[in-house]
Amino acid sequence: MPATFRKTLFSFSLLIAVVIASAQPMGKVLETQTIQSKVLGKNVNYTVYLPADYYTSQRTYPVVYLLHGFTDDNTGWLQFGEINRYADKAIADGTIPPMIIVMPNGDSSFYINSYDGKENYEDFFVNEFIPSVEKEFHIKAEKKYRGLAGLSMGGYGTLIYALKHPDLFVAAAPFSAAVWDDEAITSMPDANYDIVIGKLFGKGLKGKNRLTKTWYDNDILKMVADKPADELKKVRYWIDCGDDDFLIKGNCLLHIALTEKKVPHEFRVRDGAHNWTYWRTGITDALQFIGDSFHQK
């Protein structure tokens, strides 16, 4: 085959590939939306992914609330997770149904109410944020069309909301969730404790003094242990954590606790650590799991 012909063929193939890629419907991202919160006494930013047919369809859509990790904000899943690209592709090829994905700014709240009442993020999320967003956008405002997902701190928030508010969510997909047992809390280095979770459960606490009422009220493993199996079964769970992740122990303990209670759930341990490479390569499977939960029998 002449070199010039091969070059022409390659260029033509590349052009076809570009045309096919550009033909894929693209959703719209609203990077900075704002809600004025009376509960928190401040404005809270959030980011929204809308499916490609949002502005041309008269339908309403299921929704996934996608929570970011510690030190990130509402743009984390967009900038580093490339969630719009993965959602576009998964919707286009039929892996997931068209859905709205909402990403709130959780600061470093771990998505719960702090022990001193200074930042009641859980109250904001449940009582203000969800109702406001679901009035603003064409969302099916029902449990059976509402899912949760998140990474690290956001994985913890995902579990907290699913366990505390099972009547609001049909499915939850925590990645690398911040799940700790009592020993992990009491032995956490003082600097780490105070910087990461001290403002939630009590600053300056050491050892067993950290096991406060607020801690136990928000202890994932204790909630699973205390709740009846039938209550836990109200939400479908997809739990995913890397084998080299520093949070793998807590996620394994969660898997064991659910297994002992005979609560159906998906548990994935893949090769990887606590990083965006791991979360990006898992988000489509998680959204597919949640999307399957939206399908009605």
User: Closest Cα to residue 184, out of 173, 197, 171, 174?
Assistant: 197
Q: Give pLDDT, residue 16.
A: 56
- C-alpha to C-alpha distance for 206 and 104, rounded to whole angstroms: 32
Q: What is the pLDDT of residues 57-88, one digit of tens each?
A: 999 999 999 999 999 999 999 999 999 999 99
Q: Give pLDDT, residue 2.
A: 60
pLDDT band, very low/low/confident/very high, at 14 (cuts 50, 70, 90): low
Q: Give pLDDT, residue 237.
A: 98
pLDDT exceeds cutoff 80 at 25: yes
Q: Give pLDDT, residue 24.
A: 78
288, burial (CB in 10 Å: exposed 0-12, middle 13-18, buried 19+):
middle
pLDDT exceeds cutoff 70 at 206: yes
Q: What is the pLDDT of residues 215-253, one digit of tens each?
A: 999 999 999 999 999 999 999 999 999 999 999 999 999
pLDDT exceeds cutoff 90 at 15: no
User: Closest Cα to residue 63, out of 113, 124, 104, 122?
Assistant: 104
- Look up the pTM and report it: 0.91
Residue with token string 């928190």: 40
Buried b (16+ CB within 10 A) or exposed e, 149-187: bbbbbbbbbbbbbbbebbebbbbbbbbbbbbbeeeebbe
User: Closest Cα to residue 164, out of 148, 178, 176?
Assistant: 148
DSSP type of residue 209: G
Assign domain 25-180+219-294 to its CATH superfamily: Alpha/Beta hydrolase fold, catalytic domain (3.40.50.1820)
Q: What are phi and psi of 171, to 5 degrees?
A: -150, 150
In total, the chain counts a number of residues equal to 297
Task: Delimit the CATH 3.40.50.1820 region(s) of the chain.
Answer: 25-180+219-294
CA distances from 193 to 187, 197, 201 (A): 9, 5, 10
Share of the chain above pLDDT 70, in %: 92
